[in-house]
Amino acid sequence: MAYDLELINLGKTYDDGTTAVANFDLSVTKGEFIAFLGPSGCGKTTTLRMIAGFESITSGDIRIRGQRVNDLPPERRPTSTIFQSYALFPHMTVRRNIGYGLEVKGMAKAERDAKVERMIANLGLEDIADRRPDKLSGGQRQRIALARGLVVEPDILLLDEPLGALDANLRKSIQNELKLLQRELGVTFVFVTHAQSEALSLSDRIVVMNRGRVEQISRPHELYTRPNTAFVAQFIGRNTIFEGVIGQVEGEHVAVDTPIGRLVGVANGAVAGGSSAKVVIPAEAIDLKVPVSGEAPPRNAIAAKITRSHRVGNVRRLAVVLPDERTVALEAHVDKYPDDTFADGRDLVLTWLPDRATVIAA
């Protein structure tokens, strides 16, 4: 299969000895929307800059549509980059800004104008095409940067925190536009962000990075439901994690003996009896039950006590303390429970279906 982008054992160590990226492998098909997600300093921007050609690589290969591009300068790569600052020219009109890349390439004026006008129409920039970018709003500038990146018809559009400068509402609406535009054009997008919600709502696949290494490459839903590593489980969603030793493996289900009892989940990857493991339980998987005296607690259960509770609309937000003295935040839909279920100090039992918890090797 021919990929649009392949990173093969890609690595970068800066001159001062900082290893920013190591052993990065990724294959991207045409039209995919890929996000690099991770905390500050994990190597997202360095990787994007290596793909664009702004940063040299220390090891490995970068291929675009099968061609090794390691030694090609940025202008000879079939990529465009959109920076968080947009990097627009303040003294040029919007129209000229958009056409600049084509001008540099030496494209004839008539052809250039036709492409620029089409991009202006595509992104709804007609009314501001003759203005200068410094007189425009953040959202408008963002759209111009997008038009300028796309007009050169790159194989891959690289976006470095492109929505970072926008306020929350605008960010949301531009996210939708960006996704629609990407689908329509079928261009491969590689998008750097440290905003989880943005990556989860926009991407086909997410690369979660941590300290220069890839932790997991998955569809957004899988990052929630089947984290591969403890880092991903802590970074994505709201998970409670218990450490223990694998007690029993029964088909898909793995029982882990933890200080608060035996907890069951589904293994993600190979696990062996007697080895250390972590059980990851998503907050959404937890069912709250009121303990009934004399009744044995259900399998896969943790005793908890409510320490704080307040209602927000139809949801009750709870803080519960576990037997290991950890406090966990949970939510309950009020319609599903009798009125007095969630008074402060009440005992609860937390349960979950084994399929909804993940066991990972520690």
Ligand X SMILES: Nc1ncnc2c1ncn2[C@@H]1O[C@H](COP(=O)(O)OP(=O)(O)OP(=O)(O)O)[C@@H](O)[C@H]1O
Interface residue list for ligand X (CB under 6 A)? 14, 16, 18, 20, 38, 40-46, 194
Residue 231 CB, shortest distance to ligand X, in Å, is 14
Q: What is the DSSP string of 262-293?
A: EEEEEESS---TTSEEEEEEEGGGPEEE---T
Could you give the strand order of the β-sheet that contains 59-64, starting from the edge strand earlier in sequence?
19-28, 5-13, 59-64, 67-68
Residue 44 CB, shortest distance to ligand X, in Å, is 4
Q: Which are the contacts of 253, defined by CB distance < 8 A and separation ≥ 6?
A: 264, 265, 266, 354
Q: Which is closer to ligand X, CB of 195 or CB of 266?
A: 195
Residue 163 CB, shortest distance to ligand X, in Å, is 13
The two tokens of residue 228 are 């591969």
Please give the C-alpha separations between residue 167 and each of 138, 140, 144, 162, 196, in angstroms, as whole numbers: 9, 13, 17, 12, 16
Tell me 43's DSSP state. Answer: S
Q: Which is closer to ligand X, CB of 192 or CB of 271?
A: 192
Q: Which are the contacts of 31, defined by CB distance < 8 A and separation ≥ 6?
A: 4, 186, 187, 188
Residue 189 CB, shortest distance to ligand X, in Å, is 17
Residue type, position 220, single letter: P
Residue type, position 21, single letter: V
Q: Which is closer to ligand X, CB of 14 or CB of 89?
A: 14
Cβ atoms of 248 and 213 closer than 8 Å? no
Q: Which is closer to ligand X, CB of 29 or CB of 58?
A: 58
Q: Which is closer to ligand X, CB of 42 or CB of 271?
A: 42
Separation between Cα atoms, residue 215 and residue 225, nearest integer Å: 15
Residue 54 CB, shortest distance to ligand X, in Å, is 11
Q: Which is closer to ligand X, CB of 22 or CB of 233?
A: 22
Residue 166 CB, shortest distance to ligand X, in Å, is 16
Q: Which is closer to ligand X, CB of 223 or CB of 255?
A: 223
Residue 6 CB, shortest distance to ligand X, in Å, is 20
